[in-house]
Amino acid sequence: MRCKAEVLDRHPSSANNDCSVKRSGGAVMSFEEQEEFQYIGFWWRVSATIVDSILLGIITVPILLYAYGDQYWQSEAFIRGPLDFLLTWVAPAIAVILFWIYKAATPGKMAVSAKIVDARTGQRPSTAQFVGRYFAYFVSVLPLGLGMLWVAFDKRKQGWHDKLASTLVIRNDGGK
């Protein structure tokens, strides 16, 4: 667990080593008060999503076209078969969660120098937070994408999926 060098005194009740510190008056300072970092805003996150979508398309579209032919684009079915389900729902979920676990970012987030951190500690989120964050995307998208658009208006640039998983997306300075 790393804290900034200026953070010298951990709060005695912080059993989880979350780098909480006491102010001179005894109140506990939150991670946000201790650290200075740059939140990644809406348009940077849109850019990251575009990069991820292009990469995903480069991998999946040729396989789907090979398996289903041109009829893939003409079908009105939501899911065109088991391979379609695997390549458009299961594989992306696994890939995104694995990228988050091992890199704290997808390739798109890496391209815009962003990473995901725990909103309370500023450290790498737990696997459960990453999995919860992924499934919280559905909550963010369902009401007309309002949970995603929320990033543009939130002071910490959190979408609903970030709030539900207690995560932040910040500029990756390479030091953590």
Q: What is the pLDDT of residues 117-151, one digit of tens each?
A: 999 999 999 999 999 999 999 999 999 999 999 99
How far, in Å, CA of 126 to CA of 57, rounded?
Answer: 28
* Whole-angstrom distance, CA of residue 134 vs CA of residue 147: 13
Q: Coil, strand or helix: which one is 39? A: strand
**Buried-state track 71-92, b at ≥16 Cβ within 10 A, e below 16:** ebeeeeeeebeeebeebbeeeb
Q: What is the pLDDT of residue 174?
A: 62
**pLDDT, average across residues 104-124:** 96
Angle at 48 between CA 93 and CA 61, to 5 degrees: 55
How many residues can be counted in the chain? 176
| Six token digits for residue 140 | 């963010």
Confidence band for 173, pLDDT divided at 50, 70 and 90 = confident
Residues 176 and 170: their CA atoms lie apart, in Å, by 11
Digit-coded pLDDT (tens) for 24-53: 454 444 555 545 679 999 999 999 999 999
Confidence bin at 16 (pLDDT 50/70/90)? very low
